Amino acid sequence: MEPIKRVIGLGDSEVKEKAIRRRFDKEYKIRVLEEVDRAEGTRKVVEILRREGIYRSQLDDWRRKRAQGAFGADKIPAKGSKKLGPAKEMEKLRRQVAGLEKELLHARTIIGIQKKVASLMGRPFKSDGTPETK
């Protein structure tokens, strides 16, 4: 009995045994990122990705690495990443601290209510927050 491939006229599979991982150098990544940044907001971004054979997730990863400075400080900074002056940076940090303090107060209030409900249900909490066992 002949193998099915010969009967229906199929050749060998085109799938390689082991995939070859593509590697991209920094200059290539920077060039693609610059081109995509110029085309942002248009359908050309998809065309660029198709032409270059890269996925959106790769592009997002490259953008994240560029923002972290992985491609060197002399390259174009990530879109929207501006260096703030000391006064603006301080104000930004103050707002962040105020927001975190508000969240902490909210969390403490919720924990206090939970403790009161637990004690009403006969399962009071110790001062460290663990339930008392009888």
Task: Tell me the pLDDT band of 12, cut-offs 50, 70 and 90.
Answer: low
| In the chain, domain spans | 20-82, 83-134
**Which residues have C-beta within 8 Å of that of residue 49, sequence separation ≥ 6?**
36, 55, 56, 59
Segment 103-123 shows an average pLDDT of: 91
Q: Where are the alpha helices (DSSP H) in 9-125?
A: 26-39, 44-52, 56-67, 86-120
* Residue that wins the pLDDT comparison between 5 and 53: 53
